Structure 1
Amino acid sequence: MSSSISLLITSLLIYVVGAFISLAMRKNEQLSINISGVTGVLGGLLGIVACIPVLISNDTVVDVFSTPFDFAQFSIRIDGLAAFMVCVISLMVIITALYSFSYVKEYIGKGAGTMGFFMNLFIASMVALVTSDNAFYFLVFFEMMSLASYFLVLTEQDDNATNAGLLYFFIAHAGSVLIMIAFFIFYCYAGSFEFEAFRHTELSVPLAFTVFILAFLGFGAKAGMIPLHSWLPKAHPAAPSHASAMMSGVMVKIGIFGIIKVGIDLLGSHNMWFGVIVLAFGAVSSVLGVLYALAEHDIKKLLAYHTA
């Protein structure tokens, strides 16, 4: 096992352990806040240390671990794209974790310990997702990310948070279904859930286009692409500020990562129409997002619209 993957796994374990300790210590909320913040900083630092060498060397590091499931091995791949995403996630984690030491005190008596649990799982699932090289585990981590962020949106437990959470839940899982169908099409022709098998599978042009459109819409929903953006200005303001920063700053970028992953890495396609579709939707989203933001005075909603 390479040092980069060892450090990455250690980082993931720190997040997971921090999540469960925060949950176990939830009755002592100040201690829970401190544990969640410290594990966030430590995990973030290790994530950066793990991936900086890959970015510098432009190498690809791969390792495969056996699992109880015969149809899906746990494959970790740190290439340039994954390393960049882990570094961005980790940097945001360090910043939000440091901010959380004072900010989350506002939630003492409102489930601050439980918040630490979901926050750490949210982070761990994003890091695991961008480095997963197997469709089955990719979808598992994608669902973990969506569910953890859903519970963070519900933190306030008022009507606005509940309505925002439900809208986010339905759109996120509708997107998951589209991604699942795209991967299943790949599986039918590759005979494996491994992304490495996907990369070596030649799909016909109509089938490749179908896979791309399914993945584009599925990941586009997570990215807040217009017209699939309606959850953004509702869910982000409802979440605690440090969680909202992670959602706006990192989670929606997972959607962009997914589009690049499928369109370029897995399909290996240089089809001009893929680029035209992404450019068209991106241009509309960026312009309308700014126009919507101009009418907003709530800083969280304004950030959410700029994220679209």
Structure 2
Amino acid sequence: MKNVLKNKKVVISTVAGIALIALIFTAIFVSTQQDKRISLKKDVVVVELGDEVSLDAKDYLDTDDKSILSKTKVSTNAKKVDGIVPVGDYKVDLKYGDELLTQKVQVKDTTSPVFKDPKAKVEVDREFDGDLATNFSAEDLSEVKITIDSKDVDLNKAGSYKAKAIATDKYKNKTEQAFEVVVGEKSKAEKEAEEKEKAEAENKQTETSNNGSQGSTTGNASNGTAGTTGGNNNGTAGTTGGGTQTPVPSNPNVPNACTFIKWNNVGNSGKVFTEYNFWDDNDYELMEIWALNNQPSWSNTFTIYSIDDNCGNVGTTINWETN
């Protein structure tokens, strides 16, 4: 009987000891929690690319205590590149007294690109082989690529079609812009051929006009002294010819425009200098040397004179002469 009572006392003593230890640990834990005066609002704070990573304690700490907020020191490892903090993971350290908390911060790009001056219509030649994307541009803080959805466009057939420009940035944010593609009746090659044919016809008309309007270079020797150099690009007859000179009729069909003034049609040598200065002695000497080296057998002399067109372009030409 005495042994049974003794065992009961041992068990009661052991249970009491365990309870006491648990009570002590609970007291320590509660005390520790009470001493811990700052905590974070969130595990992770997300910041949009282009925004500032805050250094204000109230944006991170779960407290309204102005005394704690004002005495908390805040620092971060987030550094700006070209004026903004790049996309990535960073940390913000918050220190209040002996307590130190670290806030995780993620900078992300979730903003879609914005088209700059978007076009509602793009016109191209038939058989166009270029890139429609060159007609569009977009703005974004990240690198942007523009692609065109033109699956419904037939560039080999004239007509109007619907297409879509898509601007996608490095982080897969995208913006779409619908537009119309107008394919012309003629191809680029056909247009170039027509323009070439038109230019050749204009050149031919100009040559005929200039040759017909060039003044006489010699007067009638039987009536007086032979004339000096005649004809400039305005079609004026020789200035001092002794003989009778026939007026040159004007050509009303030739417009008075620079495009119809062709340097190589002025002067019978077919040579025009635009890089030499008529009034510069050195340049003049170079032109004389050219004339002497290229003078035809039938010419006894030559004249060097300044020419200009109705747009103010100035040049110098050579005119072969005979006595």
TM range (shorter): under 0.3
Larger radius of gyration: 2
Higher normalized helix content (fraction of residues): 1
Structure 1 length normalisation: TM-score?
0.19
